[in-house]
Amino acid sequence: MPAPATRLLRAVPIAGLVLALALGVAAADEAAPAREAAELVMRQLAALRAHDFGAAYALASAELRRHFSRGEFEWMVKRAHPEIASSAYAFVVRTHEAGGFLYVTVKVRGRNGTNVEALYEIVREGGALKVNAVSSRRDEGVL
């Protein structure tokens, strides 16, 4: 029978492995909403890129839909955010949470050749995330 100290030395790596796995699962759970929010934004951008404003509108929050009909939504996106309405490509640069909202920062290159940085506000409605707002500004940085 091994000495108590030997048994303890054998148990330490196993306990460490169990702790590392538990911390990894907890970190993955915390990252899930951020990943889900980024995927939502990229799905909406893909719908807009395909000129499927109905699909893009379906990803909008109830609050946004309360302010804009489907037609008004299309008009607003085309007028206020032409690079988002018709992007050549886009990628997520940051996702964070603040004040109960998720925020996704995206670099977008419009088909018009203009680069913008867009900040999306994401809310949870029931079990789904929805786009609640977006603001954009010209971005002279590297895309």
- What's the CA gap between 131 and 42, in Å, rounded? 11
pLDDT of residue 140: 85
Q: Which of 89, 125, 97 is nearest to 32 (CA)?
A: 97
The fold of 32-138 is: Nuclear Transport Factor 2; Chain: A, (3.10.450)
The Cα angle at residue 67 between residues 43 and 130, in degrees rounded to 5: 30
Instruction: Return the pLDDT at 112.
Output: 95
**Digit-coded pLDDT (tens) for 7-41:** 544 554 555 444 444 445 444 455 688 999 999 99
Report, as an integer, the average pLDDT of 106-134. Answer: 96
The pLDDT value recorded for residue 31 is 66
Nearest-angstrom CA–CA distance, 18 and 33 = 24
pLDDT tens digit string along 34-85? 999 999 999 999 999 999 999 999 999 999 999 999 999 999 999 999 999 9
Q: Which residue has the higher pLDDT, 14 or 100?
A: 100
CB 71 within 8 A of CB 82: no
Quote the pTM value. Answer: 0.77
